[in-house]
Amino acid sequence: MNMIGLKKTEIFEALEKKNLARFNELLNEDASLADSENDNGLTLLGLACHYGEAEFVKVLLNKGADINASSHSKLSFIPSNTALHAAVAGKQSPKLIQLLLRNGADVNAIDSDGHAPIQTAAFEGNAEVANLLIHNGADVTLNGGQGSAAEIAERRRHSDFINVLKTP
């Protein structure tokens, strides 16, 4: 493995082990690592968002990570998506989602399954996340992938989520 590959592996390990000091050290040595993808095509920022690691996300954003970069997932059960999709599908931390939105995350970005973050949120049924996305411009009428957010939430019987969609 060459030095670049080694550093890339190390930074993903630092995230996995929640070693913020080592994470910072590696990014200080090479800021381009902020936009790294692992062997599965998942971005460092996306993984940090999925796991709800706000401090790691802040570091990545400060180092210039592309907040709207789409992963190139090689895993059949994970679509290629943005950090916002990953945050919504993962720990669903409202504070982290707000951080992404404040830093320019595209609230209506479409993943490789045809879903915007509001549709991804509908699968989980988190009404607080739905409210946050809607108040930041999520288009609830988007109808790609497995249907609109309302249709997805209805099929999954997420009544609180559906109520948020109906509230003006």
C-alpha torsion 87→52→80→2, nearest 10: 160
74 and 3 together in one domain: yes
Among 96, 131, 151, which residue terminates a domain?
A: 96
| Residue 146 in tokens | 């497995």
- Specify whether 73 is located in the same domain as 40: yes
45 located within any domain:
yes
Please tell me the predicted confidence (pLDDT) of residue 114: 96
122 near 162, Cβ under 8 Å?
A: no
Token pair belonging to 75 = 């895993």
Residue 69 has which token pair?
């970069």
| Domain limits for position 88 | 1-96
Positions in the chain whose pLDDT score sits under 50: none
CATH number for the domain that contains residue 126: 1.25.40.20
Domain count, the chain: 2
Q: Which of 96, 125, 146 is the last residue of a domain?
A: 96
